[in-house]
Structure 1
Amino acid sequence: MTSFVSDQSAATVIIVHGAFEHSGRYDDLASQFHRDGFDVIYDDLPGQGRSPGKKGHIKSFHEYIETIQKWIEKADPDKPVFLLGHSMGGIAVIRTMQKVKPQVEGVILSSPAAGILNGAEKPMEIASYILNRLSPRLRVKASLQPNLITRNEKVILKDEDDDLILDKVSIRWYREFKQGIKEAFRHTDQFPDVPLLVMQAGDDRIVDVSKTKEWFHKIDLTEKSYKQWPGLYHEIFNEPEWPMVYEYSLNFMQLQLKKTKL
């Protein structure tokens, strides 16, 4: 687990990365949050990065929920906590909120994977139901092209040489991910009344923007905000315009912290 902790920090940000990637890709973001007065906790989700076990494989989506819950428990209990989930990590955060209902000050979702563009072809989609029973650990090619997730050339070049980025995932992982999305929609009424900021890439080549909006509008909260970033690709925190995205997130968290002092 990676953490930036200071006695002077006002709150804790827990960062949950997306599919195929790993927590190390968030080092710069975590450092920036820490410079701006936040503790930061983040690590690799099961089956990804340097986490133990078979790469690209999970037995259940609940493994992600349990992992996020452990990260929350690692945070300073005397400081407010914010959850930030990107893409599949956004779905994992949603399901954690619905299932565990942790005490957090706010939730930020970055291009949450409420709907996938260009998923498995229909024959493979059908076959995956059968293979999930017969050979759930079977891994298939399913990588994300760096130039489809960001327009940032530096990030693209770095990702092309990153051995920790997955290019295969198991049949069980795929089915559990899909089920996680279904559950996120099915249990919108179970999402606790916590301030929510959803930020969606406007030119997303990975997730279906309309599904992000659909999920957002189903959620009944006292305070929720939707911000779409025109022209930005999927990884809004890696785009050339990332300072604006970061500032928007920072303002959201600082506003919530001000409310606690009123």
Structure 2
Amino acid sequence: MLVRESKNPKAVIVAVHGAFEHSGRYEWLFDRFNHFGYHVVAGDLPGQGKTNGKRGHIKSFTEYIVTVLSWLDEAKKYELPVFLFGHSMGGLTAIRAAQLYKPDVAGIILSSPALGMKNGLARPVYYLSKILNVATPSVRFKTGVKTEVATRNEGYNAHDVSDPLFLRKVSVRWYHEFEKAIAHAHKDIKKYPNDVPTILLQGGVDHLVDIDAVKEWFNGIDTTEKSIKIWENLYHEILNEPERDQVLDDVINFINQHID
């Protein structure tokens, strides 16, 4: 678990990273959060970053949810408003945690949440993976995701290529648990809390996440206060894009509006 404290705190942000990556890729964002007066509680999800266990493998998506709940427990110790932030698969994890456990948070911030993917496995490979998921679930395969499709930020792309913590393989169990979590996020849409302010920020040129699936989910939640903004020219990692300061302004404004 990672805790980054602000000198003049007025809220706490629990930040959940996406698939294949790790919390170390968010140093810029965490620094900005601290600057604006927010403690940060984060860390690496199971099987990713510096965590123990087989890299790129989980037995159940619940492992991610339980991890995030432990970060929320840590955040509550400060007795300040707590906000849950999740990017991509981290956004999906935040959604599933909200649907299943209704954590006491002042708001939820979703950054290009993984509510549907543009490119799945080819059909023959998919059926083979279903067999392997039962027989040898920890068998891993290459993700095939190239860093340049996630962001136009050349500095991040260059770093990711040589980053030893960046996942390049995941297990068949991981893949199927990820797909199940997406399906459950839509199936359980009415379980999403109706009293938690939610903002969804989505890159308009997202090569990874299905924007139509994101919009469908957003339109289906009954939350009394919700807003969505599509950043038309931005790729998937909107908070790593050249326009990230503008995106961050939306996040900061949302948080400040919901601090008691």
TM range (shorter): over 0.9
Structure 1 residue 217 corresponds to structure 2 residue 219: yes
1:9 counterpart SS class: coil
Shift, 1:181, TM fit: 0.3
Shift, 1:130, TM fit: 1.2
Structure 1 range deviating more: 227-236 or 5-14: 5-14
Whole-Å Cα distance in 1 between the matches of residues 24 and 160 of structure 2? 11
Whole-Å Cα distance in 1 between the matches of residues 22 and 60 of structure 2? 19
Which one of the candidate residues 244, 250, 257 is aligned to 2:252? 250
Whole-Å Cα distance in 2 between the matches of residues 178 and 19 of structure 1? 12
Q: Which residue of 2 aligns with 1:71?
A: 71
Whole-Å Cα distance in 1 between the matches of residues 22 and 120 of structure 2? 21
How many matched pairs?
258
Whole-Å Cα distance in 2 between the matches of residues 203 and 23 of structure 1? 24
Q: Which residue of 1 aligns with 2:50?
A: 50
Which one of the candidate residues 237, 242, 247 is aligned to 1:240? 242
Shift, 1:222, TM fit: 0.6
Maintained 8 Å contact 1:88/1:113? yes
Q: Which residue of 1 aligns with 2:166?
A: 165
Cα deviations across residues 63-90 of structure 1 (Å, max 9, x unaligned)? 0010000000011351110011000111
Q: Which residue of 1 aligns with 2:19?
A: 19
Read off the aligned partner of 2:44 and give its amino acid letter.
D
Maintained 8 Å contact 1:57/1:170? yes
Q: TM-score, normalised by structure 1?
A: 0.97
Whole-Å Cα distance in 2 between the matches of residues 90 and 238 of structure 1? 16
Read off the aligned partner of 1:206 and give its amino acid letter.
L
1:34 counterpart SS class: helix
Whole-Å Cα distance in 1 between the matches of residues 18 and 53 of structure 2? 18
2:253 counterpart SS class: helix
Whole-Å Cα distance in 1 between the matches of residues 164 and 108 of structure 2? 30
Structure 1 range deviating more: 70-79 or 223-232: 70-79
**Structure 2, unaligned stretches of length 5 or more?**
none
Q: Percent identity?
A: 48
RMSD in angstroms over aligned alpha carbons?
0.9
Shift, 1:239, TM fit: 0.2
Structure 1 range deviating more: 28-37 or 1-10: 1-10
Q: Which residue of 2 aligns with 1:61?
A: 61
Shift, 1:6, TM fit: 4.0
Q: TM-score, normalised by structure 2?
A: 0.97
Q: Which residue of 1 aligns with 2:230?
A: 228
**Structure 1, unaligned stretches of length 5 or more?**
none
Whole-Å Cα distance in 2 between the matches of residues 14 and 34 of structure 1? 12
Divergent runs of 4+, >4 A: none
